[in-house]
Structure 1
Amino acid sequence: MHTTLISAAELARNAHDSQWVVLDCRHDLMNPAAGRAAYAGGHIPGARFAHIDTDLSGAKTGADGVFRGRHPLPERATLLATLRSWGISDGSQVVAYDAHGGMFAARLWWLLRWMGHDSVAVLDGGLPAWQAQGQPLETAEPAPASAGTLSERAALVQTVTVEDVLFNLSTQDRIVVDARAADRYRGENETIDPVGGHIPHARNRCFKDNLTADGTFKDAAQLRSEFAPLFATAAQAIMQCGSGVTACHNLLALEVAGMPGAVLYPGSWSEWCADPARPVATGN
């Protein structure tokens, strides 16, 4: 059972196992159609496509009319039906990949853990690592999967709400860690973040800092040493980003480092800054 990362070589050895489900999570925040187009142009044989916006996120506005962020969590029943439609059952080994160092695949990894399924891993190095091994791609979509029988079980991960994060400003019992690039954290990228800045007291750990030059994850010891200055224990940490997607990359890196227990703020910056009454900090 693979629960964090899997190498391209290991995936290739098991790619034809009927118990394995491979999902392509490629995406472009500025061009939502790009992931599907990239998938159609060539994907790992047998892989199915998982769209960040439509498959791995819920409605941006809640039943109360309040904006929940750009990529709020889907309803659990809806997500369960989607996962089953891909043929995922309790005994399935799921592998998620993208071509961006895992920044989108980590969202699927986290969501499956949120549903109580821990046999899920991110392809280390993504599609580039697969191709570097000389492994093939295909353009044809696989035949529709037989419906899976995945059970909804107790979540293996935890979340906090915007109210929790707001309350934490007064107590500062927990450390908010922002996974966005440094310019977005400082409030200098209005193209992506029309309201720039970060949650007061939040610390910056860009998800790209988890990776080596070739796009694979750093080893556990190095990750531990780099996360250690940010908080005393991972259980003290709240992970956030622009919309709750790349924060999952930091959560995956913590699991690789052997530092479990951090929680996700799903709404992240996009939800936080939607209410001008919430305080904003800029700079470092």
Structure 2
Amino acid sequence: MSMKHAWLVFLVALVVVLPVRLYQLFALMEEDTGFLNGGTATTAVLVVVLLLAFAAIVVISKGSKRMPAGYTPLRSIPTAVLSGLTGALLLVNSVSNIFIYSVQINGTAPSGESTTPAGVIGLAMAIVGILAAFAIFLAAYGFATGTNPVGEHPLVALLPAVWGCICLVLLFISYTAVVNVSENVYDMFAVVLLLLFLFAQAKFFTGMEGEKSGRMLVATGLPAALLALLTSVPTLLMAVLGRTVPGLFPAGLHLVNLCMACYILSFLSAARKLPAGVSAAIRTPEEEN
């Protein structure tokens, strides 16, 4: 087994679940409630295929001998572009959220309850998001030049994962205040998987647990990209067509997730060039030659 088999599982799962999810949202969803009308069979298909795909990718990543065992500087222009675009979208979203949550801190919900806790956490997420965006820009510079500047600054490497943690807390607070719909559950798990990938990538960049981090990149990256695409593509398509968007996840973050999913796929594709068993120490391009 190798990364090729993990990619095959990812592609087959995507071909199955994305059309099913589009059918659910465009044909079965009641726009006034956000619930599915008779979607039990399609939901079962989604859950079963996703679970099987996630399990298969984890098994392949653990059993394969062809997983990257350490990071050496990669030069990949597509990854650099997608990384930079992800950082730009996150930066714009975070700056706009600073104003939104600043107003919300002193606001009151329609029920009369204070919105301060969610507002404070949202403001913290926006501030950390700006810092995380610059960390992603730094990674993009590394991909463009074939260097590893993020690996030289471990705390900077962790910033995107910290942003993901705060985002997860905010989502939990928001979702427990409303009646749950399936879209909220998918969004929550998408953020969890993206967070796990960002944490594994931070360790990979800094040379921590080289082989283990390399396997975790694949074990979390492909499932994260799969679920991010499953949640963002249909939702953004509905927004473009003027349909009611299900769930509470902001459209801006769906756009960030879509771009991040593409960045993950590009990064994992480029990482296939890393030889298995390579030292986890960070090496310069000159040392590579």
When the two structures are superposed, what TM-score results if normalisation uses the length of structure 2? 0.30
More relative contact order in 1 or in 2 (CA 8 Å, sep 6+)? 2
Between structure 1 and structure 2, the one with the greater Rg is: 2
> In proportion to residue count, which structure has more strand?
1
TM-score (norm: length of structure 1): 0.30
